[in-house]
A and B are shown apart, each in its own frame.
Chain A
Amino acid sequence: MLDVRDLRVAFETRGRTVPALHGVSFALRPGTVAGLVGESGCGKTLTALAIMRLLPATAGIQAGDVHLNGRSLLDLPEREMARVRGAGIAMIFQQPRASLNPVFPVAAQLTHVLRLHRGLARRAALAEAEALLARVGLPGPTRILRAYPHELSGGMCQRVMIALALACRPRVLVADEPTTALDVTVQLQIVELLRALQQELGLTVLLITHDLGLVAEICDDVHVMYAGRIVESASVEALFRRAAHPYTRGLMTARVRAGGRALPTGIPGRVPPLGQTPPGCPFHPRCHLAGPECAAAEPPPEVVADGHIVRCHRWRAGVA
């Protein structure tokens, strides 16, 4: 389905090249939900934007490839890539209100997308827009169509964004922290909506989040990112049963559990800033298992079990 291979992205600032993604590889299985997990600044959003080819002007793809249904997206001319966006892969964003153009009513963008991608006539597009808004659970779709983003709540904006993303019937949906900016109760509703739509439409979803609870709830596979690398990939069951990477285990213990008595223990230190990644394994300065080999060389991917891959020299020491 969507296949990301050895993706390398770097920022170019004042003649200096600062690498941000150091060879990210993962694949999405059709009709499943994959989580991309990690702390802020580890390159999750950058990965998503690179897949969409919507990186900021200062960032560029250095190497690697992205395949959608066997077709390489990075070689496509911009005009054809625009056709893939929306119809092939759609995306929803972290800040729902900021993602909607403030000076256009909801109807304007929604019908434009429908007419562009599905060739609907004006009247048909309007009817379809109303149906879409109803489908994403917005009450009074006719009223919403006339509304401007500032007249809607954050949750409503995110529902509108989901309607926009689904308007072109994409097969892959990239959801970049779709609930982070919302109230807890609204978060639940949006998650429920995404899960329902995913099952109903057979969508393949890449869910970017730092919320392991959310991952446990709706993901099939998980890819854990650290400092611009995928450090562990596994199915949700395997990861929660037996996380191999010390960073993943750190994330798990850092979770707050309802009813738990113990305070969550964090991971000491923090994500190294861009351009100051330590040599060897980027996690070794914060790792309680680190040994001399960890500072010397970057660990190669190792297979823990079928479909469970980890990049750590000493994962055996931790798992035992």
Chain B
Amino acid sequence: MTLLTFVLTRVLPGSPIDEIAGPMATSQQRQALMRHYGLDRPLWTQYVAYLGGLARGDLGTSFVTSRPVAADLASFFPATMELTTWAMLLAVVVGVPLGVWSAVHRGTWIDHATRVLAVAGLALPVFWVSLVLIYLCFYVWHLVPPPIGRLPALVTPPPPVTGWMVVDSALARNWAVLGDAARQLILPVAVLALAAVAPLARVARTSMLDVLGAEHIRATRSLGIPWRRVVWTYALRNAMLPVLTMLAIVYGYLLGGSVLVETLFAWPGMGRYAFNAISGNDYPAAQGFILYATVVYLVIFIVVDVCSAILDPRIRT
């Protein structure tokens, strides 16, 4: 994995020296910079040096920000994490009941309406929805603050503990900042959730339909347990397993950073960092981001496997 990204970032056209040195640099200056960053050495020695750094937890230094990549990731990650997690929570709270509801009322107008909604959520381009919402909710109706990042201008952020604005301000008992941070979150969270609701609702509907046709559901009903309890207690737990897998996929995808949403809302997150790193040939930053994304995926899927095992005893044995 590290070898692949190492080679890939390097064979892409363009050189970081162009960015660092600027267009007016002489060829001697460029040579000196190459030597300074070690880019004149053979590729495999560079790779060994990189691996050696990794082993010590050193991801290298960004050419652009001149800060350690690990420090950069640590400061951008919580922003994306907070945005994505709230969006996923919202998507689950809306999407799963929507899917279940749709399955229970299969073939009725309720089912068709929720399906149209879900498809619309998938089909509408995120940047378009963002722009429309910013225009309407901020510019026309003044419902939300301007899209300028995680806090309004001139507000002092709370002392960082978790890196989550909402949590940190609550820990600092700074309720004004908490409100500010929450208001900044509303629109970007809504936009991301809109995209995530569709796949969740669809999977929830399909797997719920599957479970509702099962014999044990008929048996449970034959015992006189009310329909509502049958659906929301007995069937839901069975139906959650495929939903959990879809949740992991969507969550991992969003944690990779949504360049469009983060750019439009001036959100200092992973998506923008990765975009800048790749377009600027910032090798250490790009490598660091890809490593981060891999680790995030692994962690999410491990967590989902553990949750599945809790939900379904058959996986445990």
CB of A76 closer than 8 Å to a CB of B: no
A100: nearest residue on chain B (CB-CB)?
B216
Q: How large is the interface on B (under 10, 10 to 19, 20 to 34, 35 or more residues)?
A: 20 to 34
A115-146 Cβ-contact flags toward B at 8 Å (1 or 0): 01100000000000000000000000000000
Q: Which residues of A contact B67 (CB under 8 A)?
A: none
Minimum Cβ distance to chain B for residue A46 (Å): 13
Are B234 and A101 touching (Cβ within 8 A)? yes
CB of B13 closer than 8 Å to a CB of A: no
Are B224 and A86 touching (Cβ within 8 A)? yes
CB of A150 closer than 8 Å to a CB of B: yes
A150-193 Cβ-contact flags toward B at 8 Å (1 or 0): 11000000000100110110000000000000000000000000
Query: Given A54-B218, A103-B311, is A82 in contact with B238 using a C-beta cutoff of 8 Å?
Result: no
> Which residues of B from 277 to 317 have beta carbons under 8 Å from A?
311-314, 317
Q: Which residues of B contact A105 (CB under 8 A)?
A: 313
Q: Which residues of B contact A98 (CB under 8 A)?
A: 214-216
Q: Which residues of A contact B213 (CB under 8 A)?
A: 56
Are A93 and B223 touching (Cβ within 8 A)? no
Are A93 and B219 touching (Cβ within 8 A)? yes
Are B223 and A165 touching (Cβ within 8 A)? yes
A53: nearest residue on chain B (CB-CB)?
B221
Minimum Cβ distance to chain A for residue B149 (Å): 43
CB of A237 closer than 8 Å to a CB of B: no
Minimum Cβ distance to chain B for residue A109 (Å): 7
Q: Which residues of B contact A101 (CB under 8 A)?
A: 216-217, 220, 234, 238
B107: nearest residue on chain A (CB-CB)?
A57
Q: Which residues of A contact B312 (CB under 8 A)?
A: 102-103
Alpha-carbon distance between A95 and B227 when the two chains are bound, in angstroms: 22
Question: Chain A's interface: helix, strand, loop or mixed, by majority?
Answer: helix
CB of B237 closer than 8 Å to a CB of A: yes
Minimum Cβ distance to chain A for residue B72 (Å): 43
CB of B7 closer than 8 Å to a CB of A: no
Minimum Cβ distance to chain B for residue A92 (Å): 8
Q: Which residues of A contact B106 (CB under 8 A)?
A: 57
Alpha-carbon distance between A167 and B220 when the two chains are bound, in angstroms: 13
Number of interface residues of A (CB under 8 A): 38
CB of B225 closer than 8 Å to a CB of A: yes
Alpha-carbon distance between A136 and B123 when the two chains are bound, in angstroms: 56
> Which residues of B from 63 to 108 have beta carbons under 8 Å from A?
106
Are A117 and B224 touching (Cβ within 8 A)? yes
CB of B226 closer than 8 Å to a CB of A: yes
| CB-contact partner of A84 in B224, B226, B237, B314, under 8 A | B224
CB of A27 closer than 8 Å to a CB of B: no
Query: Given A148-B313, A150-B317, is A85 in contact with B224 using a C-beta cutoff of 8 Å?
Result: yes
Are B219 and A168 touching (Cβ within 8 A)? no
Are B314 and A82 touching (Cβ within 8 A)? no
CB of B222 closer than 8 Å to a CB of A: yes
CB of A67 closer than 8 Å to a CB of B: no
Are B216 and A99 touching (Cβ within 8 A)? yes
Alpha-carbon distance between A309 and B64 when the two chains are bound, in angstroms: 95
Q: Which residues of B contact A86 (CB under 8 A)?
A: 222-225
Are A54 and B221 touching (Cβ within 8 A)? yes
Minimum Cβ distance to chain A for residue B208 (Å): 14
Q: Which residues of B contact A161 (CB under 8 A)?
A: 219
Task: Give chain B's interface residues, CB within 8 Å of chain A.
Answer: 106, 213-227, 234, 237-238, 311-314, 317
| Closest 5 A/B residue pairs (Cβ) | A86-B224, A99-B219, A85-B224, A98-B215, A148-B313
What are 29 A-B contacts with C-beta separation under 8 Å?
A56-B213, A82-B221, A82-B224, A82-B225, A85-B221, A85-B222, A86-B222, A86-B223, A87-B224, A91-B219, A93-B215, A93-B218, A93-B219, A98-B216, A99-B216, A99-B218, A102-B238, A102-B312, A102-B313, A103-B237, A103-B311, A103-B312, A103-B313, A113-B223, A117-B224, A148-B313, A150-B314, A150-B317, A165-B223
